[in-house]
Amino acid sequence: MKKIIFITGASSGIGLACAEKFASAGNDLVITGRRLGRLQQLQKSLESKYKIQCHTACFDVQDKVAVNLAIAQLPDYFKAIDILINNAGLALGRDYFQDAEMADWETMIDTNIKGLAYVSRAIIPAMIKRRSGHIINLGSIAGHEVYEKGNMYCATKSAVDALSKSMRIDLLKHHIKVTLISPGAVNTEFSLVRFKGDQQTADKVYENFIPLTATDISDAIFYCASLPAHVCINELVITPTAQANTIYFSKEDSAK
Ligand code: NDP
Ligand code: 8X3
């Protein structure tokens, strides 16, 4: 059955792949992010390729007022959100705790934790009224295992883990599912953002092994969202086969 899917961070990477996957199955979408041009282009392409209805809402998840306004101003049809994919997020910098930029920490906290909470808080009341819904949060293996110079990013994803568990308990009586997706290395714009536009350093992250693609993750998310009403996957931890956890990789020797 056709559903309405609300995706944060649909302008790139995993969010973009989710938009494509859910639209290809005939679902209607609300796609969001800060880069309006990319969202408008995506909307046009999905509507013409899959004959679905797509609404674009351009806002920064860090801005509580903008989040509430965008959700309050959704056309009536799009207010009946079945699935919320809380995907917008980022890492900024990879520095020792003692050297890290405060502004980077603040942006990660405001986006990954507060942004996810603002969007969820604005959407959940309508799900409660309809006694159904599914919230899918993008965590990370970094939320389970810290690594050197991962400090605040790991802390924000650990918070997403805690919030997901907490939402699952609080929403239990309202028949709302909560799923946490915890990927390892996925080759998206993630590292380019983390290293502030330094393409060479970003590319090194994915060298000498086969990383996950955004489509690998959107396929898994689609699977979680396609199960019967009585089945809830609480968490999926997904890594490339060449990655055991945040630290151990099996990399080909590039010198060979
Ligand atoms: P990308 O950088 O490719 O995509 C991130 C998306 O988040 C973009 O669409 C961006 O849109 C949006 N976004 C970022 N900040 C904001 C903001 N303040 N307001 C609204 N939208 C925002 O990275 P990924 O697709 O890889 O990341 C998606 C999620 O997956 C993140 O939560 C990330 O932490 C998580 N993740 C990624 C992994 C990886 O290795 N790639 C591994 C584990 C988890 P715009 O710039 O247009 O606002
Ligand atoms: C992104 C994966 O290991 O770079 O969440 O933190 S990692």
* pLDDT, tens digit (0-9, with 9 covering 90-100), for 219-243: 999 999 999 999 999 999 999 999 9
Distance CA 192, CA 185 (A): 13
Distance between CA atoms of 10 and 33, rounded to whole angstroms?
6
- In the predicted model, residues of the chain with pLDDT beneath 70 are 254-256
Name the residue at shortest CA distance from atom 44 of ligand 1.
Answer: 140
* Encoded tokens for 176: 């709302």
Q: Which residues contact 218 (CB under 8 A, 6 or more apart)?
A: 14, 17, 18, 20, 21
Pocket perturbation via mutation, ligand 2, pick of 140, 187, 248 by most ligand atoms within 8 A of CB: 140
- At residue 255, the pLDDT reads 52
Residue nearest to atom 5 of ligand 2 (CA): 140
What does the pLDDT read at residue 72?
A: 98
Instruction: Give the DSSP letter of residue 221.
Output: H
Atom of ligand 1 minimally distant from the CA of 10: 9
pLDDT one-digit tens code per residue, 7-19: 999 999 999 999 9
Query: Could you confirm whether 153 is annotated as catalytic?
Result: yes
Ligand 2 neighbours by CB, cut-off 6 Å: 140-142, 150, 153, 184-185, 246
The reported pLDDT for the residue numbered 185 is 98
Looking at residue 253, its pLDDT comes to 76
Q: What is the pTM of this model?
A: 0.98
Q: What pLDDT does residue 172 have?
A: 98
